[in-house]
Amino acid sequence: MDGKCVRTPFGPPPRASLSLVEITEAYGIVWAWHHHNGDAPSWQLPDLDLPSDHAPVYRATDMAGHPQEVCENSFDYGHIQPLHGVEFLGEVSPPRADGPFYDINIKLNRRMPLLGNLQHLVSGKVIGLGGICVVVDLAQVGVRSVNWVLATPIAPWRIRLHLAVSSHVTWGRHFPAVLRSQASSGAARAVSSGMLVALQQDIGRDFPIWHHKKHLVHPKLSHKDGLIGAFRKWASKFYPPTSRGTAGTPLVAHRPSLPNGDLERCK
């Protein structure tokens, strides 16, 4: 298939065609490759050993914004406490940029209903500028959860943000053997549905900021702002060399005014 229109219900097809992108499926997600020159993929998705008992549950929201801004949020340690109400306890290991991937491992303290303070590890892998995989290890309650934050550009300066969650429950081994697989999957899916609501509420606090923020080439950063500078330097590799500004800052800085409008829920 080459994307050309081959027939219509009304007569001879017009000379029309769709542009094609290469796709692949991984982790229960369909990924599309885009290159400004139409070049073939120059890197592959990583092999991830993700704890999951079922296909991801997901929801999507349309908003103004840019994938780079969504990824940058993960490196902005300074906003975690004031915006999300979660205590940042520090990095578990040094952040590591490796080609098209960027790993961060941090420890957070989150106050949970009925459970009180819950310290937990958060392992994040940024995959290009298109996806963030965050594994949340809630060992105290026997849950490991994979949270995906996926920003897909759908128009200039507009994105469709998919949030997707899949989980693994360690207490599935307590189910009767004959039911174990199905019961574990059902329990994990129920956990993921709850986690997805929590993720939507948590990241929903970022939505108005992503929707309205303006990109500054030279933001006034303090050392508490985390890795924003390092992230931007790394992110510049995903832009054509001719669009890069000074100090590795891509042309994304020269964005037009964002359109106004309410965030839209994609059904």
- Contacts with Fe ion by CB under 5 A lie at 73, 206
Q: Which is nearer to Fe ion, 76 or 103 (CB)?
A: 76
User: Measured from the CB of residue 71, what is the shortest distance to Fe ion in angstroms?
Assistant: 11
User: Measured from the CB of residue 170, what is the shortest distance to Fe ion in angstroms?
Assistant: 28
The answer to whether 122 and 89 are in contact (CB under 8 A) is no
The answer to whether 166 and 50 are in contact (CB under 8 A) is yes
User: Measured from the CB of residue 228, what is the shortest distance to Fe ion in angstroms?
Assistant: 12
For residue 151, the cross-strand partners are 161
User: Measured from the CB of residue 144, what is the shortest distance to Fe ion in angstroms?
Assistant: 21
Distance in Å from the first CA to the final CA of the chain: 29
Q: Which is nearer to Fe ion, 73 or 184 (CB)?
A: 73
Q: Which is nearer to Fe ion, 135 or 203 (CB)?
A: 203
Helix (H, G, I), strand (E, B), or coil: what is residue 235?
helix
Element containing residue 187 per DSSP (H, E): helix 180-204
d(C-alpha 209, C-alpha 72), whole Å: 12
d(C-alpha 230, C-alpha 80), whole Å: 18
Q: Which is nearer to Fe ion, 60 or 183 (CB)?
A: 60
Q: Which is nearer to Fe ion, 62 or 206 (CB)?
A: 206
User: Measured from the CB of residue 99, what is the shortest distance to Fe ion in angstroms?
Assistant: 25
CB atoms closer than 10 angstroms to residue 32: 11
d(C-alpha 153, C-alpha 47), whole Å: 24
